[in-house]
Amino acid sequence: MLEDIITLSKQLIKLPSISPLDLGCQKIISKRLKKIGFCIENIKINDTNNLWAYKGTGKTLTFLGHTDVVPPGNVNDWNTDPFNPVIKNNFLFGRGSADMKCALSAMIIATESFFKKFASISGRVSFLLTSDEESLGNDGTKKIIEILKSRNEKINYCLVGEPTSNLKVGDVIKNGRRGSISAEIIFYGVQGHIAYPHLANNPIHSSLNAIKDFINLKLDSGNNFFQPSSLQIFYIKSGKKNITNMIPSSIKVGLNIRYNTEITQEKIIMEINKILDKCKLHYQINWIFSGNPFLTNSGFLLKTVKKSIFEINKFIPKLSTSGGTSDGRFFTCMNSEIIELGLVNKTIHKVNECVKINDLYLLSKIYTNILKNLFI
């Protein structure tokens, strides 16, 4: 079993599938799934490869993942070739090993060994893989979910293989993620000579109160699962360097809000508009929506994942909703229970990305156990 996971992981890591490229990873996976009776749909949208594969009927579990990786960064900083997987001191090194090609291998091998033992089940196991999770996310999971929804497909359980673990595989699972929304605001003043400020309106000075109000804005107090929603300014730009005699005509401010299930996008927009209307400047605002928050605070999938980890590892995982968004967010419109469980995330997106060999074995065992506890 472990040898199989390592072999498949190496095959996938060898393909430098920098987002949104797939470079044949999904072909390798499709072939294996087809061999054990899965229906395969390869759905290419623009430059993104997507795979929807399923076997069985009835209550459905979807393994969700991605075959793309982030660039290696400075290759000279790596101790090994990022796209030539190497095992050293019981760790497998390579770009995408932790995020998340080895987890994909663990899912595939787990599924193969599950169906070898239980030839027919009452339920459906499926895979949704994309190659644009690390880039814009426009032509991947989001689009495939739209297609599946238009076909009236039902997905009861979504198991995301993103690296959630802290020290040992399964010690932390994610049962939710915050939502994310950004805005670019342009405040307009009146341009003029810096020596004649009474003839101008300096938008930098005039917008400062609004900016301060943004920073002090208390959106909610959080809840048992989420920290309070938080607003961060990530960008302020106005004027021109070395033009020392000019009051600029405008200032641009970028802000991002990570928000929990206590507040909605509509309420956030209302709060920001209140501040904007208080300031005496003309403004323009452009909102960018990234994703809604989700929370699975109970249900059969959460119970099953906890039980399956305990049976293998003899500890109960910690629940977390920390970190950025994940493609799991696209399943909220399917009303699926969504849980994320993957490898240790210590080295993700870094140089010398690696995973512990024994964790691959454990993760695959846990995935098989989840299938068994869900369907048998």
Positions in the binding site for Zn ion (CB under 5 A): 99-100, 162
CB of 131 to Zn ion, least distance (A): 12
Output the smallest distance, CB 324 to Zn ion, in A: 10
Using Cβ positions, the residue closest to Zn ion within the complex turns out to be 99
Among residues 22, 68, 337, 359, the one annotated as catalytic is: 68
SS3 322: coil
Instruction: Output 162 or 353, the one with its CB closest to Zn ion.
Output: 162
Residue 68 appears among annotated catalytic residues: yes
| Residue 211, C-beta contacts closer than 8 angstroms, at least 6 positions apart | 233, 236, 253
The single-letter code of the amino acid at 98 is A
- In whole angstroms, the minimum distance from the beta carbon of 305 to Zn ion comes to 18
For this structure, is 99 an active site residue?
A: no
**Of residues 99 and 359, the one with the C-beta less far from Zn ion:** 99
From the list 133, 134, 139, 340, the catalytic residue is 133
Q: Which is nearer to Zn ion, 100 or 302 (CB)?
A: 100
d(CA 347, CA 274): 42
CA distance 64 to 314: 25
Q: Under DSSP, is residue 139 helix (H, G, I), strand (E, B) or coil?
A: coil
* Amino acid, single-letter form, for residue 188: Y
User: Of the two residues 99 and 337, which places its CB atom closer to Zn ion in the complex?
Assistant: 99
Give the C-alpha separation, 268 to 275, whole Å: 11
CB 135 within 8 A of CB 18: no
351 to 17, 72, 83, 93: CA distances (angstroms): 16, 7, 12, 10
Angle at 363 between CA 357 and CA 364, to 5 degrees: 95
User: 5 vs 268, which CB is nearer to Zn ion?
Assistant: 5
Q: How far apart are CA 240 and CA 122, in angstroms?
A: 66
Q: How far is the CB of 256 from Zn ion (least distance, A)?
A: 20
Q: Are 30 and 82 in contact (CB under 8 A)?
A: no
Task: For the CB of residue 224, give the shortest distance to Zn ion in the complex, in Å.
Answer: 26
Residues with catalytic function: 68, 133
